[in-house]
Amino acid sequence: MEIKEIQEIIKAQNIDTIRIEYPDLYGICRNKMVPAKRLEALAEEGINFAQAIYAIDLTNDVAPETGCGYEIEWKDMTIMPDLSTFTVLPYLESTARLIGNAFRDGAPIPVDPRYALQKVIKKFEEKNLRPVCASELEFFVYRPGEGRPGELYNPNLSCVYQVNPILDPIGLSRTLQNLFLQLGFEILYLNHEFFPSQFEINWKYDHALNCADQTFTFKYVCKEVAAQNNYHLTFMGRPTTEGGGSGYHIHLSLSDPKTRKNLFDDPDAEHGFSDLMRYFIGGQMAHAKGMSAILAPTINSYKRYQPDSFAPYYLAWGLDNRTVYCRVPGERGKATRVENRAPCASANPYLVYAAAFAAGLDGIENKIDPGEHAVGDIYGAEPGTYETIQFFLHDALQDLKADPVICDALGPELIQAFVALKEHELNLWRKHVSDWEFNTYSAQL
């Protein structure tokens, strides 16, 4: 989109404010508001932020050894807006947004998650391959409470695959649907998920960068719209002990850049998919543990991985099998794809897609065969039949650091910052005494 076209939209829709946005390492939307009349200067000069934002954890503490704080004398970076991402935010009065990339001295900053994905996409483009993906995200909604979330928005059981005023009394689903349609999303469907107050919205696949931008937008719009209605919406992996977890299933494929033909589809091959797709699955399986910390980035993420939970537990792939790590859905033709079911809803979409496509590319380049597909409900498999996924963030970080493919794809600077941030989080958690500990130990010991 050109500046002139954007200016015409600004004038026609009385836009007076533009939010300049970018993702931090958590995938949180960091931004500043700028008067819309400064668009030309903004496009030329960008806007400065402290690079230490990539070192700030969710307690607002600065993690040490990230390479983004005192190590660089707390330097600034410049966010340069990508004009193609200009979008009017219909739920905010007279406000639009632009997503940007981080630079210093004219060069991209390696810890920028959006840049990490762009680097991986470029490797596919060099092979005349177009990475395509779709996001399938779940979330929970809570009623307002005093100082913290209150009761579940809908506490009723057995509401899965329903849409009605009983489980959605304020019509939040319809509100979100119509907002995302205005934002340019091709919404496919939405529904109540398995657990009380858990919802899911699905939209059409797109080029990997567009999909990551949409997913980034989706998450903050959902949270902001819920907050406007005095509700609390969370993509946390498992919000409560009693309830289940929220996944972020990613659907991955490759197409021809010119014809857009799905290159995973092969009607004459076994199972109806190409060797290219088979090797791509092999890459997912080979790097499942190495990219675990990226796909499941919080301590809480690992509480989602339980038997009989429809979340991965064993490392296996299957044909339309929801008990495996990588599922091949039943559709073929242009819908032929790989579904990686491991990501947590809390994950950063730019890093998730960067890691997953990097793993797939390694599978293609080295012709990694994933072996035979699993058959049946593998939650009940004999122990030792399949290797398990990682169950702790600490172990996942060790696997990440030991995986040269994922580390090289994301870059040493980003890996340093990400690992330091996560290790800081683990140290804070190690010192925290939970209610469970007090209730379990205090009375008898």
- What would the pLDDT profile of 310-329 be if each residue is shown by its tens digit? 999 999 999 999 999 999 99
Residue 148: the pLDDT is: 74
Distance CA 115, CA 120 (A): 9
- Asked if residue 185 and residue 134 are part of one domain, the reply reads yes
Over residues 366-390, mean pLDDT: 95
- Asked if residue 357 and residue 272 are part of one domain, the reply reads yes
Residue 243: the pLDDT is: 86
- Asked if residue 58 and residue 102 are part of one domain, the reply reads yes
- Asked if residue 24 and residue 140 are part of one domain, the reply reads no
Q: At what angle do helices 349-365 and 113-126 cross, to 10 degrees?
A: 30
Is the model's pLDDT at 271 over the cut of 80? yes
Residue 16: the pLDDT is: 98
Is 18 inside any structural domain?
Answer: yes
pLDDT-above-90 percentage for the chain? 94
Contacts of 383 (CB under 8 A, 6+ apart): none
The parent domain of residue 91 ranges over 3-109
Residue 103: which CATH number? 3.10.20.70
- Asked if residue 62 and residue 10 are part of one domain, the reply reads yes
Is the model's pLDDT at 225 over the cut of 80? yes
Is 148 inside any structural domain?
Answer: yes
Residue 381: which CATH number? 3.30.590.10
Q: Could you report the per-residue pLDDT of 166-196, keeping only the tens digit for each?
A: 899 999 999 999 999 999 999 999 999 999 9
- Asked if residue 360 and residue 233 are part of one domain, the reply reads yes
Distance CA 66, CA 84 (A): 31
Is 295 inside any structural domain?
Answer: yes
- Asked if residue 370 and residue 270 are part of one domain, the reply reads yes
Residue 56: the pLDDT is: 96
- Give the three-state DSSP class for 173: helix
Residue 293: the pLDDT is: 98
Residue 396's closest CA among 328, 344, 345? Answer: 344
Q: Could you report the per-residue pLDDT of 153-165, keeping only the tens digit for each?
A: 999 888 899 989 9
Q: At what angle do helices 349-365 and 275-286 cross, to 10 degrees?
A: 120
Residue 145: the pLDDT is: 82
Residue 68's closest CA among 21, 25, 119, 111? Answer: 111
Over residues 192-203, mean pLDDT: 95
Helices (H), ranges, 143-190 = 172-182
Is the model's pLDDT at 123 over the cut of 80? yes
Is 404 inside any structural domain?
Answer: yes
- No. of helices (H) and no. of strands (E), the chain: 12, 16
How many domains does the chain fold into? 2
- Asked if residue 124 and residue 105 are part of one domain, the reply reads no
Q: Identify the helix (H) or strand (E) that includes residue 117.
A: helix 113-126
- Asked if residue 212 and residue 91 are part of one domain, the reply reads no
In three state form, how does the secondary structure of 366-433 look? CCCCCCCCECCCHHHCCCCCCCECCCCHHHHHHHHHCCHHHHHHHCHHHHHHHHHHHHHHHHHHHHCC
- Asked if residue 208 and residue 90 are part of one domain, the reply reads no
Measured between alpha carbons, how far apart are the two ends of the chain, in Å? 66
Distance CA 56, CA 63 (A): 6
Is the model's pLDDT at 144 over the cut of 90? no
What separation in angstroms does the CA of 163 have from each of 111, 138, 182? 41, 15, 21
Is 429 inside any structural domain?
Answer: no
Of 58, 90, 109, which one is at a domain's C-terminal end?
Answer: 109
Of 65, 81, 109, which one is at a domain's C-terminal end?
Answer: 109
- Asked if residue 230 and residue 126 are part of one domain, the reply reads yes
Distance CA 69, CA 52 (A): 5
Residue 250 banded pLDDT, cuts 50, 70, 90: very high
Is 432 inside any structural domain?
Answer: no
Is 260 inside any structural domain?
Answer: yes
Task: Give the CB-side neighbour count of residue 105, counting CA atoms within 13 A.
Answer: 2
Of 109, 138, 171, which one is at a domain's C-terminal end?
Answer: 109
Q: Could you report the per-residue pLDDT of 68-94, keeping only the tens digit for each?
A: 999 999 999 999 999 999 999 999 999
- Asked if residue 67 and residue 134 are part of one domain, the reply reads no
Is the model's pLDDT at 376 over the cut of 90? yes
Residue 146: the pLDDT is: 75
Is 36 inside any structural domain?
Answer: yes
Over residues 213-229, mean pLDDT: 97
* Average per-residue pLDDT for the chain: 96
Q: Could you report the per-residue pLDDT of 14-54, keeping only the tens digit for each?
A: 999 999 999 999 999 999 999 999 999 999 999 999 999 99
- Give the three-state DSSP class for 189: strand
